[in-house]
């Protein structure tokens, strides 16, 4: 006679081990993704401060078009790194953080993840627009410099509107992740506070005259991404995921957000 109880227990254990293994893979993938995200910010700032700013790229249409025509491959690669690679890494990181936060703060984790995925979509879209714009400007330059400058200015505005010129969605994601992590004890408090500072600075970039605060957001997120990545790679298993209230406690479970 087959022991159905033993067989069922064995199947349940196998399912639990498979789930635990999947969570470990996701956590580690999230850690790597966070480090990749930090690296894209470093590359972006390094190239901007050492090459693009000196060339006047982004400030003056005529100079920007001239630089673009001479450095098409460089700008294409830069856009891929700061937008597409970053956005792809962000998708993975947002999912990994959602798994880490959802047990203790399910609502906050869900809302934060939505903003994280929206941010990823916006920056990937901005990168695609930016690279399509390069080809459009090159084609327009073959007809007239004025048309090339007008094309660059128009598509630059679209790029900035999607993800290059404001930090609202990304700031909300970082702030919500920090809020959820503090409530559930899922990330170190210091990294959460760092995220709050960077997030508030990013939100303030929408105020006229405060656009330079985007630098605080960017440099703050380099440290934030790196710290979160290292933490996820070093963290243990589920014993670190449920540091909050006992889910079997009805009162505590009712107060989780």
Burial class from Cβ neighbours inside 10 Å (0-12, 13-18, 19+) for residue 118 reads: middle
Residue with tokens 């001479």: 70
83: CB partners within 8 A, 6+ apart: 123, 124, 126, 127, 128, 130, 163, 164
Name the residue ranges covered by the structural domains of the chain: 22-165+225-237
Q: How far apart are CA 89 and CA 95, in angstroms?
A: 10
Q: Which two tokens stand for residue 256?
A: 């989780």
Per-residue pLDDT at 16? 43
pLDDT in tens, 65-76: 999 999 999 999
Q: Is the dihedral of CA 143, 163, 57, 47 positive or negative?
A: negative
pLDDT for res 236: 61
pLDDT mean across residues, the chain: 85
Closest alpha carbon to 155 in 68, 252, 36: 68
Compute the distance between CA of residue 59 and CA of residue 57 in angstroms, rounded to an integer: 6
- Name the one residue in this structure whose structure tokens are 């449920």: 242
- Indicate the pLDDT class of residue 237, thresholds 50, 70 and 90: very low
pLDDT tens-digit map of 104-153:
999 999 999 999 999 999 999 999 999 999 999 999 999 999 999 999 99
Selection from 115, 109, 83 nearest residue 96 by Cα:
109
As a whole number of angstroms, the distance between CA 55 and CA 57 comes to 5
Span 48-64, pLDDT tens digits? 999 998 888 988 899 99
User: Please, which residues have CB within 8 angstroms of residue 253's CB and are 6 or more apart in sequence?
Assistant: 245, 247
Buried (b) or exposed (e) across 126-141, using 16+ Cβ within 10 A? bbbbbbebbebbeebb
Give 235's pLDDT tier (boundaries 50, 70, 90).
confident
Helix (H, G, I), strand (E, B) or coil at 7: helix
In this prediction, residue 59 carries a pLDDT of 84
């Amino acid at each position: 006679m087959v022991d159905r109880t033993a067989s069922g227990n064995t199947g349940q254990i196998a399912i639990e081990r498979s789930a635990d293994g999947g969570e470990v893979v996701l956590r580690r993938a999230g850690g790597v993704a966070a480090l990749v995200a930090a690296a894209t910010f470093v590359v972006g700032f390094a190239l901007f401060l050492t090459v693009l700013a000196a060339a006047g790229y982004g400030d003056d249409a005529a100079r920007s078009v001239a630089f673009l025509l001479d450095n098409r491959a460089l700008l294409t690669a830069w856009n891929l790194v700061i937008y597409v690679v970053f956005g792809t890494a962000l998708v993975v990181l947002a999912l990994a953080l959602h798994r880490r936060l959802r047990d203790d703060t399910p609502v906050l984790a869900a809302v934060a993840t939505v903003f994280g995925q929206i941010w990823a979509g916006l920056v990937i879209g901005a990168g695609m627009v930016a690279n399509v714009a390069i080809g459009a400007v090159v084609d327009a330059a073959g007809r007239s410099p004025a048309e090339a400058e007008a094309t660059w200015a128009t598509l630059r505005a679209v790029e900035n509107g999607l993800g290059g010129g404001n930090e609202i969605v990304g700031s909300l994601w970082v702030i919500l992740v920090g809020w959820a992590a503090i409530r559930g004890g899922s990330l170190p408090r210091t990294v959460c506070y760092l995220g709050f500072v960077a997030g508030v600075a990013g939100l303030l970039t929408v105020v006229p005259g405060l656009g330079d605060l985007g630098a605080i957001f960017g440099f703050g997120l380099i440290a934030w991404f790196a710290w979160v990545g290292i933490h996820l790679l070093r963290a243990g298993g589920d014993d670190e995921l449920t540091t909050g209230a006992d889910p079997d406690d009805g009162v505590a479970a009712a107060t989780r957000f």
